[in-house]
Structure 1
Amino acid sequence: MLTVVCETPGTLLAQDRPMPERGAHEVLLRVKRVGVCGTDLHIFTGKQPYLSYPRVMGHELSGIVEAAPADSALHPGDAVYVMPYLSCGTCIACRAGKTNCCTRIQVLGVHRDGAFTEYLTVPQAFVHKAEGVSLDQAAMVEFLAIGAHAVRRSGLRAGQRVLVVGAGPIGMAAMIFAQLRGATVTALDGRQDRVDFCTGALGVHAGVPLGEGDEEQLAKLTDGEFYDVVFDATGNPQAMERGFRFVAHGGSYVLISVVGANITFSDPEFHKREMSLMGSRNATTEDFSTVLDAMRAGLIPPSLNTHRLALADVPTQFQNLLDPSAGVIKAIVEC
């Protein structure tokens, strides 16, 4: 079967690998769609802190069941999506229902090989029927669930003002679910085309391009009070540190980004605001359900999927997805 491997940063190789053998509690999937995530781009560029090479990328996937355990609710031919965070179920986090930050977590495409391949085996507990959504939609549930989780974790309430810094797919997911909670959302990003997409396709209240005078614009939009909740989805340490300045007194700052660096902030500014600082990692089954309900209700813009490529073309075309002029929001690989 065709498998694309990231051998080292910047090097993708097409290999012919044997079909995987299904374990007793595993499902054999024929991979159909794989969303390309910022994590994949970071793996390709050598900026993912939790990874060793070589690695088969890909954790946003949908597929068709080829074989499943006899006692499973899944059957050959079922269309499915996968929760790619393979949690242990017994650690302190899992016992508290926080499987998204399991102490022994194995994320497909990061800690173990993922879905840039034609067939994949996954423990059956993490494979779910994709009822009422298309294969394309099912491959986009995961990144949207990350945004939904961050919004849920923030405790956001209707009527609050939200700033999302970083208008990539994860940032856009946070914008979508913040709006569904009734928040007034502003997007801040260094690319004007992304800002325009957020105000146009996503309908956010305001968009501010990163650069000279941006802080003054954010202050003007909020009568100088800034934002009840700020989400960072930049993956940039300097941006993450700067974001503290945009949090209102009594507000919350949610770091969806993860970087291989230390983040520092002014303790007096942090304390005088009595700011709540949160990390937001991955998502849970509750967040996946939230996304699926929104998809079935027609609340997720289909325009998020802007590019497509075939699995066989990934080694030669993947780097094009890094070109800002290509206007990529979400690319989907067809297997």
Structure 2
Amino acid sequence: MKSIVLQKPEHLVFEEIDNPGKPNPNEALVKVLRIGICGTDIHAFKGRQPFFNYPRILGHELGVEVVETGIAVNHLKAGDKCALEPYFNKTLGQAVRRGKTNCGEEISVFGVHEDGGMRPYFKVDANYLHPSEKLNFDQLALIEPLAIGYHAVQRASPEQDDKILVIGAGPIGMAAAQFAILTNKQVVIMDINRQRLDVCQKHLALKGSLHIDNQDFNYPENLKNIFDGDLPTVIFDATGNPDSMKKTLEFAAHGSKIVFIGLFQGDFIFHDPLFHKKELTLMASRNALGNDFKEIIGLIESGIVNTDFWITHRINFEELPEQFGGLFFGNEHVIKVMVEL
């Protein structure tokens, strides 16, 4: 069968691979119907993705249909529509034993550490499939990026009196904002991309947005203007930009929490007296938990979370290798590209 392989940076090609065959007892054979393209895929394409080796079949934001199940699988049947939880733990390390399946010591992320979903069919441990009778394949492919933002919000546990800033209005920042709003009505999003901010302002119940338009942008004063004289008490940085991440310590209120969702290849260095003076809490947020997937599916099914505005571009599987680069680089209107099979 035909798969799409990233052989090396900026070299995405079709390759023939073997059919997956029948599922083992605990597995399901699934058909891929939708593939969301994410920042991980884009960074891998440009050669900037940590924890990555070439060649690799990309794709971990997936809407799939169950074709066949192994004899030990009881919670799925042929025809079920599912989202994939792509964080596989094949060994029970310390973190996994403590329930932290999102950051196991030997975690293997589908489409990053092992070949992913840019192929018509694959087999997977059925426990990583989350079914829904109500959601369509577009929505199911969005569960994984939504889960990244959801998990970050769970990490911070914002309270009703918190003032929340999300830096980065891409899909992950947008997801964090979308779930932060469910806990708190004081949510502001900030970005250099005005088009993305406009989308967020239109579709999310934000307190406001901030457009960074020059090097002299006065973060504390601009934030105080929109937060009624105060600074943010919870900050989510989804940029993966070291300069942006460093600035969070400068404009966080005393006693605040900062959550880094994005990451970069390098050392993060900050001024320790500033960190201690404000008694800041600094957290990383990686991937998501299986229960996050289940809860998000329930929130969308019940109408509490709307995903209608997420997908801005669509492309056919056959067109992807040739058009991948042009979809993202230099195109500031893209939020989420959905690949259709």
* TM-score, with structure 1 as normaliser: 0.96
- Alpha-carbon RMSD across the aligned residues, in angstroms, is 1.4
Does structure 2 conserve the Cα–Cα contact (< 8 Å) formed by 1:88 and 1:102? Answer: no
Among candidates 239, 250, 253, match of residue 234 of structure 1: 239
CA distance in 2, matches of 1:130, 1:285: 14
Structure-1 residue corresponding to 2:226: 221
SS at match of 1:249: coil
State the match for 2:310 in structure 1.
304
Counterpart residue identity of residue 20, structure 2: P
Aligned partners of 1:149 and 1:292: how far apart in 2? Answer: 14
| Aligned residues of 1:88 and 1:94 also touching (Cα < 8 A) | no
**Residue 290 of structure 1 aligns to a residue in which SS?**
helix
Once residues 56 and 127 of structure 1 are traced to their aligned partners in structure 2, the CA distance between those partners, rounded to angstroms, is 19
Write the mapping of 1:1-80 to structure 2, written as runs, cut at 5 A: 1-21=1-21, 22-73=23-74, 74-80=76-82
Note the alpha carbon deviations across 1:268-311, whole angstroms, 9 max, x for none: 11101110000000000221122112211222231111111111
Aligned equivalent of 2:339: 333
| Structure 2: unaligned runs, 5 residues or longer | none
Q: Is the 8 A contact 1:201 1:301 kept in 2?
A: no
Deviation at 1:76, TM superposition (A): 1.7
Displacement of 1:324 in angstroms is 4.2
State how far apart, in whole Å, the 1-side matches of 2:328 and 2:237 are.
20
Q: What displacement does 1:87 show?
A: 1.6
Paired residues of 1:149 and 1:280 also in contact (CA < 8 A): yes
Distance 1:320 1:295 in 2: 31
Distance verdict in 2 for CA 1:231–1:326, change over 3 Å? closer
Mind listing any 5+ residue stretches in structure 1 that lack a counterpart?
none
Comparing 199-208 and 142-151, the one that deviates more? 199-208
Q: Distance in 2 between matches of 1:131 and 1:241?
A: 44
Query: 1:140 is paired with a residue of what secondary structure?
Result: helix
Cα distance change on mapping 1:121 and 1:214 into 2, 3 Å: farther
Structure 2 counterpart of 1:181, one-letter code = T
- Inter-partner Cα distance in structure 2 for 1:126 and 1:305: 24
CA distance in 2, matches of 1:89, 1:180: 35
Aligned partner of 1:102 in structure 2 is 104
Deviation, 1:130, is 2.3
Task: Give the drift of 1:209.
Answer: 1.1
Does residue 265 of structure 2 align to residue 260 of structure 1? yes
Query: What is the distance in 1 between the residues matched to 2:292 and 2:308?
Result: 19
CA distances 1:90-124 after superposition (whole Å, capped 9, x unpaired)? 21111111100011101000000001111111111
Match for 2:71: what amino acid? A
Give the conservation status (yes or no) of the 8 Å contact 1:145–1:290: no
In the alignment, is the contact (CA less than 8 A) between 1:88 and 1:105 conserved in 2?
A: yes
Post-superposition offset of 1:131: 2.6
Mean Cα deviation higher: 293-302 or 252-261: 293-302
Query: For 1:152, what is the secondary structure of its paired residue?
Result: helix
Instruction: Determine the C-alpha separation between the residues in 1 that align with 2:301 and 2:148.
Output: 18
Name which of structure 1's ranges 59-68 and 122-131 shifts more when overlaid on structure 2: 122-131
The reply on whether 1:294 has 2:296 as its aligned counterpart is no
Which region of structure 1 is more displaced relative to structure 2, 234-243 or 102-111? 234-243
| 1:89–1:99 Cα contact (<8 Å) kept | no
1:167 counterpart (163, 166, 169): 169
Aligned with 1:270: secondary structure? helix
Deviation at 1:193, TM superposition (A): 0.8
Is contact 2:30–2:122 with CA below 8 Å preserved after alignment? Answer: yes
* Residue 251 of structure 1 pairs with residue 253 of structure 2: no
Aligned-pair identity in percent equals: 39
Q: 1:141 maps to which residue? A: 143
Equivalent in the alignment of 1:194: 196
Deviations 1:205-238 (A, max 9, x none): 1111113334121132235531110000001111
> Hey, what does 1:93 align to over in structure 2?
95
> How many residue pairs align between the two structures?
335
